[in-house]
Amino acid sequence: MKTKADFYYFMTLTGYFGLLILLASWIIYFHPPTNSPVSFTLLFALTPLLIALRGLLHGKRYTYAWSSMLILFYFMHGVVEAWANENQTVKILAMFEVAFSVVFFIGSILYVKYKSRELGQKLEPED
């Protein structure tokens, strides 16, 4: 890795793809939903992540900025599942969801910061 921005780029993608794979395997294999179709649950859980995929892969700072707010939904979901669910498997999966969300969040925020510095652009609002 050449720069800090590159490191945070890969950190964000690690959190992103980890979360994507975790949620898909959680819904399909580990704990399928009992009161709704698996396809609907997959669509509901993964569509917000997939919307950001192209911008994340191309290193678009705007996508990194707004997706860092989107990822907080997955963080909340993981915390609630880890706290409230009695199933030990779900608790472990939820803790991984929280971890991947935190990796994604930190990576995306710091990617925007360091990429903006590399490009010589300010992050502060103009007066």
Residue carrying structure tokens 């490009």: 119
First to last CA, the chain: 35
- When computed from its CA atoms, the radius of gyration of the chain, rounded to whole angstroms, is 16
- Amino acid (1-letter code) at residue 92: I
What pLDDT, in 10s, does the model give residues 53-103? 999 999 999 999 999 999 999 999 999 999 999 999 999 999 999 999 999
d(CA 77, CA 94): 8
Q: φ, ψ for residue 67 (rounded to 5)?
A: -75, -20
| pTM score of the predicted model | 0.89
Looking at residue 126, its pLDDT comes to: 42
CB 87 within 8 A of CB 77: no
Looking at residue 127, its pLDDT comes to: 37
Looking at residue 50, its pLDDT comes to: 95
Among residues of the chain, what percentage have pLDDT more than 90? 76
Q: Where are the domains of the chain?
A: 4-117
Q: Where are the alpha helices (DSSP H) in the chain?
A: 4-25, 38-51, 53-57, 61-84, 88-118
